Amino acid sequence: MSATVSKIVRPDVRTTQGTFTRLLGACDAIIGHFTRRAAITTLRDLDDRSLRDIGLRRSQINAAVHGRVARSNRERVS
């Protein structure tokens, strides 16, 4: 039995670069998650006066850590 060139199929080989890039992206997301959790814990441990000094209300901690509090809003906290 002979094989002709038209019948030889190359195996579907995926590059490891794509897999490695996805792995790095996943690691980055995991590190970011734990970093944000640590920041939230640290900010929650502060008293209200310290939070006011940095321009945050206690209710804004999660939003601030996730980057959803505008700078102008933080400056106007009273």
Kindly list the averaged pLDDT for each block of 10 residues, start to end, along the chain of length 78. 61 68 91 97 96 95 92 53
Give the span between the Cα atoms of 69 and 23, in whole angstroms: 30
CA dist 27 → 20, 23, 35, 40, 61 (Å) = 11, 6, 12, 20, 24
Q: pTM of the full predicted structure?
A: 0.64
Domain span including residue 67? 19-75
Work out how many domains the chain is built from and give that number.
1
3-class secondary structure for 9-67? CCCCCCCHHHHHHHHHHHHHHHHHHHHHHHHHHHHHHCCHHHHHHCCCCHHHHHHHHCC
Give the span between the Cα atoms of 26 and 21, in whole angstroms: 9
Q: What is the pLDDT of residue 33?
A: 96
